[in-house]
Amino acid sequence: MKLEIRKNGDPILREKCKPVIVIDEEIKKLASDMLETMYSADGVGLAAPQVGINKRMFVIDVGNGPLVMINPRILLRIGEENGREGCLSIPGLWGEVARAQKIDVEAMNLQGDKVRIEGDSLLARAIQHEFDHLNGILFIDKATQLIDASSKKEE
């Protein structure tokens, strides 16, 4: 089921999310609904608070198949690179954001198993972007330059 994506200004986007305690059918359904919502919006990632749920989980697909990350922890950040980011919760706005080039993250999957993922490039950027959502941080808080995509006007 497609969910409503919350937009900038919605207070839940600024909340620090609570850990997922039990991975039950409700969490599995939420993950499925989040993936459907993300794909229908042409996104590469979507965090639970973006659909109004205060839980530490997000979904990502940068072209290698879907990932569901529950209670993620970034263990290691290596290097830094600037890149353009947008957000489904802030449509029409892009920004240049500095992120780690490579990351090592640990999370739980839908089976409740701990998984460790090493990511670079777009995967690393997407994980860091979605991880920020779990802490109430939006990309516009870190962007050095904001661009209105609808008018191509820089702020």
DSSP codes joined into one string, 129-143:
HHHHHHTT--GGGT-
Under 8 Å between Cβ of 106 and 25: no
Q: What is the pLDDT of residue 153?
A: 47
Average pLDDT, integer, range 46-69:
98
Average pLDDT, integer, range 81-104:
97
Residue 154: pLDDT over 50: no
Q: What is the pLDDT of residue 132?
A: 98
| Residue 49 DSSP one-character state | G
CA distance 96 to 116: 28
* Beta-strand runs (E) in 24-155: 45-47, 57-60, 67-78, 81-87, 90-99, 102-108, 114-120, 145-148, 153-154
- 25 assigned to active site: no
pTM of the predicted protein model: 0.95
* The one catalytic residue among 4, 26, 130, 154: 130
Under 8 Å between Cβ of 124 and 76: no
Mean pLDDT of the chain: 95
Residue 149: pLDDT over 90: no
CATH for 11-154, options being 3.40.50.2300, 1.25.10.10, 3.90.45.10, 1.20.1270.360: 3.90.45.10
- Residue 151's pLDDT band (cuts 50, 70, 90): low
Q: What is the pLDDT of residue 152?
A: 53
Residue 81: pLDDT over 50: yes
Residue 150: pLDDT over 80: no
Q: What is the pLDDT of residue 145?
A: 87
